[in-house]
Structure 1
């Protein structure tokens, strides 16, 4: 029998003025959401030098989801062994990539700072999360367009079912820098995180169904327009944000058998969907 997957924790880090007061988002609030330049107030200063805004936001969301006290964690973190990381971000490091190209065109590769060049890797957010908390499972980044967030959730669940990890931290994050918005249009800088674990027989919690491709977009907990009204465009972070909202909503008042559907995507990329349900809370 294929093992089920539980959403065991969730958080959203949504900094900036005018952060929404939507009751669903309030369920995820674990403290003030500091901006990337103030991330040290939550994370401590060590390890943040030269980190991009999207990396700092993602670290804040994971920190909140894991329920850690302020400051640099003491390693080894309990449960770090065989914890995987899957990040969804379509524009997370695009500003660094553009800067590196401009610097090389204006001079040479020697003009690129060795402290900044690691940020040109598309996997920099996932690898930074893994290094910070000593996670030893696989770490990877998904950038598959409007379905990217749910694609990342699906890959995290697959890693659990395949026995590649015992816990998976899934993060959706996007920046709002000038380079990213010049490509994507308006973006809201935020990070959302869900923690996935295998469901043992009889274990209560919010059960995650299988992520699948879908053209049915009418069974939503929050549809795309509503999320954009409350938060703003979130691109690759949207699917993870939706799952975090659904899990928080079900955990707060769901009865056994209750459920919520999540769909993300668009005409260009198609749609991905997943169903969450309550089991014995």
Structure 2
């Protein structure tokens, strides 16, 4: 079963669409203000990661024509939610632990309790938009974003749902900076709607990209070799995994001669949002005339796993 990307939502300081991921706005663009995108209602007491996810979710669902002014245009149970974020509610957890350490558990804010749950972003998005399909939250390290796409596609291929909203979100705050040591973080969210080819055709919605081969295992070189397959088709673009030293630190013989696209260099450390960001950027690349295929990859030999995904240009683009 072919799984397509039928909608994209981009909420970043330097980009508000898939096409802008290729040529982003100025580096000094102001931070995203969620209330300007989705209004103030429902944002109070929600952490920044959840607020950003609301914005990207709405943009992606609208782009896929799954919501209109009256709400969902499809059955609520037909849409799954899969969210990837490694640091989403770290600020809430840190604040709660600091309070317990200084005082007692009874001194904690009751408003913080729901936000301290590891699945708060996924569950909050599902509740806000009335999405009643399977609901998953991944905090899975370097491969987390590509894992979210793989799980979303897997739910569709297994017949659990016809479509899945995959979100990648990471906030920039003091807690994340202290934990990671990074000085340039993504601070945004990206969403893509995955949908079976049959479902998209039935709704008259064009595919923006097609999900191809996928792999997850030990070692970046081994993962890339497995993606090439027996035909050994070479990609037109390689979206590289994040490293401390950037794309130049990756071995030169990996996909030698294939142009490398380092999204982390453009937008900051994306961590759990990287794979979804790469998928959205591939959509933007196709829309701007790229022929594909695109190989998205996450996780190097320094991580506990590597993952890869081939993204193909749909015939109609």
- Pairwise TM-score range, normalised by the shorter structure: 0.7 to 0.9
Residue pair 1:50, 1:115 contacting (<8 A) in 2 also: yes
Residue by residue over 1:58-112, the C-alpha shift from the partner in whole angstroms, topping out at 9 and shown as x without a partner, is 11111222237xxx98554222512111010000001101111122233333222
SS at match of 1:243: helix
- Number of equivalenced pairs: 267
Residue by residue over 1:108-143, the C-alpha shift from the partner in whole angstroms, topping out at 9 and shown as x without a partner, is 332222222100001000111101110010111111
Residue pair 1:80, 1:134 contacting (<8 A) in 2 also: no
Following superposition of structure 1 onto structure 2, how do residues 47-126 of structure 1 map, counting pairs within 5 Å?
Answer: 47-67=42-62, 76-79=71-74, 81=76, 82-126=78-122
Matched residues in 1 for 2:274 and 2:192: separation?
A: 12
Change (3 A) 1:133 1:20: closer
Mind listing any 5+ residue stretches in structure 1 that lack a counterpart? none
Q: Is 1:279 matched up with 2:274?
A: no
Following superposition of structure 1 onto structure 2, how do residues 19-30 of structure 1 map, counting pairs within 5 Å?
Answer: 19=14, 25=21
SS at match of 1:221: strand
2:299 paired residue number: 265
Q: 1:239 aligns with which of 275, 280, 292?
A: 275
Residue pair 2:166, 2:192 contacting (<8 A) in 1 also: yes
Matched residues in 1 for 2:306 and 2:143: separation?
A: 6
Q: Is 1:212 matched up with 2:215?
A: yes
Following superposition of structure 1 onto structure 2, how do residues 120-199 of structure 1 map, counting pairs within 5 Å?
Answer: 120-186=116-182, 187-199=185-197
Matched residues in 2 for 1:182 and 1:125: separation?
A: 22
TM score, norm. by length of structure 2:
0.76
Residue pair 1:80, 1:133 contacting (<8 A) in 2 also: no
2:256 paired residue number: none
SS at match of 1:90: coil
Backbone CA RMSD of aligned residues: 2.8
SS at match of 1:67: helix
Mind listing any 5+ residue stretches in structure 2 that lack a counterpart? 226-234, 242-246, 248-261
1:11 paired residue number: 9
